[in-house]
Structure 1
Amino acid sequence: MMDLDRTDRMILGILQREGRITNLELAERIGLSPTAASERTRRLQKDGYVTGYGARLDSARLGFGLLVFVEVLLDKTTPDIFDHFAAAVRRAPEVLECHMVAGGFDYLLKARMKDMAAYRHFLGHALLALPGVKETRTYAVMEEVKTEGPLPL
């Protein structure tokens, strides 16, 4: 973030909270011309600071009311096993996020599905069948307290 000035950080802060803001409104809020605001926004996108835009959907209303976090321990930790596991997880639509972590297990997954029966099926038929999976621990979310918080720019 060293090459970002105060205006760039303002643009990023606004965009991460209000991705559908018009360029004209963005320009007014940061005190630039619409052309200058548009050029800065394009540069931030081109340089990879903005990785995408999308709508936040109500998962419960769409039938995905169960959120789980799963610790995954692999039987071996070799580059080949890591690559195969990562490729398989990328193909699993239920998995929203997957992070390789340091500590007592290898990966932390965040997944959404309809209910516990759907999770049981996913666990038995998809997750435990992934390459190298030795053991899992599941944590079902009872309440989502804070989600998708903006970065503290």
Structure 2
Amino acid sequence: MPDSATLDQTDRRILRALAEDGRITNAQLAQAVGLSPSPCWQRVRRLEKQGVISGYRAILDQEKLGASEIVLIEIVLDRHDDETLEIFGRTMQHMPEVLEVNLTTGEYDYLIKVAVKGTRGYEEFLRKKLYKVPGIRHSRSSFVLRSLKNVQAYLPQAG
């Protein structure tokens, strides 16, 4: 798999354009990056095959879906053995309101991002789901008041 140093400027223009609009047509993309459609399509397929582009997805509006509150939860586990980590990870995968799970360094073991419907929805998530996960010693929550920036990837500059 290539690193960011092996991507040329055209690859970088393609990646920036796709990160901004994943539904852009190949013809529009080719025009935006200064290529004809066939070489543009070949580059996109190469970037996909190399894993630089790992997928495409729709960005959903949580508010319109009825789960507009985003909560960041810091979690400390009782133990750090393989079984506890595996159970925690597998359990998080099966909770649809859990948007992200990040293993972290520092005071807390995990930072998870959850979408809920208000404080009642959050209380229900805690009581009926999170607090039933074996191995959790402690959690601390913060409600997101407003998201100022939300991107899915960072493309480092060449050089």
Give TM class, smaller chain. over 0.9
Root-mean-square deviation (CA, aligned residues, Å) is 1.3
Q: Is residue 101 of structure 2 the alignment partner of residue 109 of structure 1?
A: no
Partner of 1:119: 122
Q: Which amino acid aligns with 2:15?
A: L
Distance 1:34 1:145 in 2: 35
Alignment coverage as a number of residue pairs: 153
Q: Point out where structure 1 has 5 or more consecutive residues left out of the alignment.
A: none
Distance 1:80 1:55 in 2: 34
Deviations 1:103-152 (A, max 9, x none): 00100000001111111111111111112111110101112222226524
Distance 1:133 1:121 in 2: 17
Partner of 1:7: 10
Give the secondary-structure state (helix, strand or coil) at the position aligned to 1:112. strand
Partner of 1:72: 75
Give the secondary-structure state (helix, strand or coil) at the position aligned to 2:132. coil
Q: What percentage of residue pairs aligned between the two structures are identical?
A: 37
Partner of 2:53: 50
Normalization by structure 1: what TM-score? 0.95
Residues 17 and 150, structure 1, Cα contact 8 Å, conserved in 2: no
Residues 71 and 106, structure 1, Cα contact 8 Å, conserved in 2: yes
CA displacement at 1:2 relative to structure 2:
2.4
Distance 2:146 2:101 in 1: 20
Matches within 5 A, 1:18-33: 18-33=21-36
Matches within 5 A, 1:79-118: 79-118=82-121
> 4+ residue stretches of structure 1 with deviation over 3 A?
none
Q: Which amino acid aligns with 1:99?
A: N
Distance 2:6 2:24 in 1: 24
Q: Point out where structure 2 has 5 or more consecutive residues left out of the alignment.
A: none
Give the secondary-structure state (helix, strand or coil) at the position aligned to 1:119. helix
Normalization by structure 2: what TM-score? 0.91
Q: Which amino acid aligns with 2:65?
A: L
Q: Which amino acid aligns with 1:40?
A: R
Deviates more, 1:9-18 or 1:53-62: 53-62
Deviates more, 1:125-134 or 1:98-107: 125-134
Q: Which amino acid aligns with 2:100?
A: E
